[in-house]
Amino acid sequence: SSADRGEFALASGRLVEEKGFDTAITAAHTAGVPLVIAGAGPDEARLRALADDTVTFTGLLTHDKLAELRSRAALVLAPSRWEEPCPYSVLDALAAGVPVLASALGGLPELVPPESALPAADPASWAESITRLWQEPRLRLEQGRVGLARVRERFGEERYLERLLAIYEPRA
């Protein structure tokens, strides 16, 4: 992972209000951290109006372009306001060794360490966590490693196969 050398915070997904991108914009601004938002959707105009020149909107990207962008990120933000079960944007970031800050809603808290699950609609908490990670490259690297180990343990191919075989295992 190169999270310790990351250039910006990244948020990606469909630009809809329930994804909480406005929280990401406000918090990154407060933290003084550049933000890249990858995606498109009906909330884009409102989000652009909230953003200053430290926010870059990429539009919809291919999987490869998003992976390249993720490889340059210092951290990923998932400030969702709805109970997402298991978003790929979070799994992909964790699998790339990039630390993730996520809302404490739905399945998100199960994906990230406890200190990385934040109140969905509290930009001040988000700004504080973004600032801490941004200012401590070694912490970003360590949290990226922890996230990678966690996602491999819970969602890796071996774990998937174990779970699948357990379904078909005869019961005594």
pTM higher than 0.85, yes or no?
yes
Structure tokens at 168: 């078909």
Report d(CA 58, CA 133) in Å as an integer: 23
Per-residue pLDDT of the chain (172 residues; tens, 9 = 90+): 689 999 999 999 999 999 999 999 999 999 999 999 999 999 999 999 999 999 999 999 999 999 999 999 999 999 999 999 999 999 999 999 999 999 999 999 999 999 999 999 899 999 999 999 999 999 999 999 999 998 888 888 888 788 888 889 887 6
Report d(CA 140, CA 65) in Å as an integer: 22
Q: Among 130, 82, 23, 88, which residue's Cα sits nearest to residue 37?
A: 23
Report d(CA 37, CA 26) in Å as an integer: 13
Report d(CA 93, CA 109) in Å as an integer: 15
Report d(CA 116, CA 30) in Å as an integer: 18
